Structure 1
């Protein structure tokens, strides 16, 4: 068992950083050391920003996005096309599509995808609100912007069946999204091509 090289506060910082996606114990130690070396310029402002965000960030009750207001900035943006609804599995995918800048629509965050192996069923996703929004808000097109994984495609087909009688056109991302690909890891050009070439479900 490796011995601690610093006090418990620093070790706790390293352990917390190591929980972030993409960071293992070694990377976490490097990040922690960098933060410690730049305490005034980086660590103090970061701690302040995190504390402020913790107290203000809320989940939008309408779409599931995270913001500092509810409903969120996207839901209250009158310039967006209210007849187009983009369905994503999580907030990271919403942000990825917004970075691509190819849509001026509203979103609906499912909170995951159907995954029987992981015990995620329809009742675990934000599907009831999706169906209600499509019917109540006069949605003309639902774009299923879900990853090209088996679970993502299973979820897309399930939603298509749910909305079959809604009168809305159901489309999904097409070319550019590789099989097994997650939206949050794709570049803006790939996302842009996939949106433009979306296909009918």
Structure 2
């Protein structure tokens, strides 16, 4: 059924927007109506930016981050050559680390985690490229910033074993009570991880 007052192209735009994460049919309709009401200042620039990104976006040949050139801005920045590589599962995790502004080194995007059930092995991820980087770039520390899931921890243990003879320090993010967190609101796994990672005060 066509949207009230809409045409085929508008219906198609709403349907495409509704497929985006966090947007359902109602939110997509509101977003499209907003854009249509401001075609010159909102819709046209958005369409131009999307077309440009669609034509130019690619994976960084070094770390796997999204970029518009062969090397992303992080890998191209000589100030980020600290000898530290932070390994993340996906680009969203890399962006989250950058938002926190607490890490000044470089990254490596695996593109997923090891999963025997899904048939995802080391060669399906960016693991061989990571091992080559560690050997070639004079890396002193590899920080495994992977999720606290079974797959994430399996991948972390596998990487730690593969890097054991590489002469680099391998570390992982601390897990436990978040800043501002109250014990009553935390799940049992988080509380357990926090207790095991306790340190002297």
Q: TM-score range by the shorter chain?
A: 0.7 to 0.9
CA–CA distance in 2 between the matches of 1:177 and 1:12?
45
After superposing the two structures, state which structure 1 stretch, 103-112 or 31-40, moved more: 31-40
> Unpaired segments of 5 or more residues in structure 1?
179-196
Contact 2:67–2:73 (Cα < 8 Å) also in 1 = yes
Using CA pairs under 8 Å that are at least 6 residues apart, name the structure with larger relative contact order, 1 or 2. Answer: 1
Partner of 2:124: 124
Partner of 2:55: 55
CA–CA distance in 1 between the matches of 2:66 and 2:155?
22
Contact 1:63–1:109 (Cα < 8 Å) also in 2 = yes
Partner of 2:135: 135
Contact 2:122–2:128 (Cα < 8 Å) also in 1 = no
CA-atom RMSD in angstroms: 1.9
Measured after TM superposition, the shift of residue 177 of structure 1 is 7.5
Q: State the TM-score, normalized to the length of structure 1.
A: 0.82
CA gap of 1:77–1:177, structure 2 versus 1, over 3 A, is farther
Contact 1:148–1:177 (Cα < 8 Å) also in 2 = no
Contact 2:90–2:111 (Cα < 8 Å) also in 1 = yes
After superposing the two structures, state which structure 1 stretch, 161-170 or 117-126, moved more: 117-126
Measured after TM superposition, the shift of residue 136 of structure 1 is 1.3
For these two proteins, the number of residue pairs brought into alignment is: 178
Match of 1:82, SS state, is coil
Partner of 1:4: 2
Measured after TM superposition, the shift of residue 52 of structure 1 is 1.4
Measured after TM superposition, the shift of residue 176 of structure 1 is 4.8
Alignment of 1:75 with 2:88, yes or no, is no
Deviations 1:121-178 (CA, angstroms, capped at 9, x unpaired): 2221011000111111121100001111221111111111111111111111113587
Deviations 1:100-121 (CA, angstroms, capped at 9, x unpaired): 1101101111111112333322
Partner of 1:115: 115
Greater C-alpha Rg: 2
Match of 2:9, SS state, is helix
After superposing the two structures, state which structure 1 stretch, 100-109 or 15-24, moved more: 15-24
